[in-house]
Structure 1
Amino acid sequence: MVDSLLPLPTQDRFELCEGSDENEDISNRCLLGKILASKSLNQQAVSNILLDAWRSRAKLEISSWSENSFLFQFEDLEDHRRVLAEAPWSVMGNLLVLQPLSARVSASEMVFHWSPFWVQVHGLPVAKMTKQNAEFIGKRLGNLIGVEAMHEGLLLNRSYLRIKMEIDVTKPLPLGFFLQHNSSSGSEQMETWVHYKYEKLADFCYDCGRIGHVNSVCKFVSREEGKNSLYGPDLRNS
Structure 2
Amino acid sequence: MAEELANQCSKLRLHDQENEFVDVGEVEDDVSEERIALMLVGRLITDRNYNLDAFKRTMTQAWSLARRVVIRVIGAKLFVFQFFHWKDREKVLEGRPWCFENNLLALSEVAGNEQPSDVMPMHSPFWVRLENLPFNRRSDNIVKTITTSMGELLEIENDDLGLDKYRRVKLNLDISKPLRRFVNMRDNDGRVLRIDLKYERMPFFCLMCGVMGHSERDCLNLPEEEQNQGLGWNLRLRATPRKGRHKLMEEVEEVKACRKILFISKPEAKSENKEGEGAGLI
Provide TM-score, normalisation by structure 1.
Answer: 0.87
- 1:132 is matched with which residue: 136, 141, 144? 141
Instruction: Please name the residue that 1:49 is paired with.
Output: 58
Instruction: Please name the residue that 1:24 is paired with.
Output: 34
Instruction: Please name the residue that 1:77 is paired with.
Output: 86
Deviation at 1:86, TM superposition (A): 0.9
Which stretches of structure 1, 4 residues or longer, exceed 6 Å deviation after superposition? none
Deviation at 1:230, TM superposition (A): 3.0
Q: Does 1:234 align with 2:236?
A: yes
Contact 1:59 1:76 in 2 (8 A): no
Deviations 1:141-161 (A, max 9, x none): 11111111266xxx5252111
Instruction: Please name the residue that 2:21 is paired with.
Output: 13
Structure 2 gap segments, 5+ residues each:
1-10, 241-282
Deviation at 1:191, TM superposition (A): 2.5
SS in 2 for 1:24: helix
Q: Does 1:156 align with 2:158?
A: no
1:1-238 alignment runs, 5 A limit: 9-10=16-17, 11-16=19-24, 17=27, 19=29, 22-27=32-37, 29-149=38-158, 156=162, 158-181=164-187, 189-222=190-223, 224-226=225-227, 227-238=229-240
Which structure dedicates a bigger proportion of its chain to strand? 1
Q: In angstroms, what is the RMSD of aligned CA positions?
A: 2.1
**Could you tell which deviates more after superposition, 168-177 or 15-24?**
15-24
Structure 1 gap segments, 5+ residues each:
none
**Bigger Rg over Cα:** 2
Equivalenced residues, count: 225
**Could you tell which deviates more after superposition, 219-228 or 109-118?**
219-228
Q: Which has the higher contact order (CA 8 A, sep 6+)?
A: 1
Deviation at 1:106, TM superposition (A): 1.0
Q: Distance in 2 between matches of 1:138 and 1:131?
A: 11
Q: Distance in 1 between matches of 2:28 and 2:171?
A: 35
Deviations 1:72-122 (A, max 9, x none): 111121110010011011111111000112211111122221111111001
Deviation at 1:49, TM superposition (A): 0.7
Instruction: Label 1:18 to 1:112 Cα distance change in 2 as closer, same or farther (>3 A).
Output: farther
Instruction: Label 1:128 to 1:20 Cα distance change in 2 as closer, same or farther (>3 A).
Output: farther
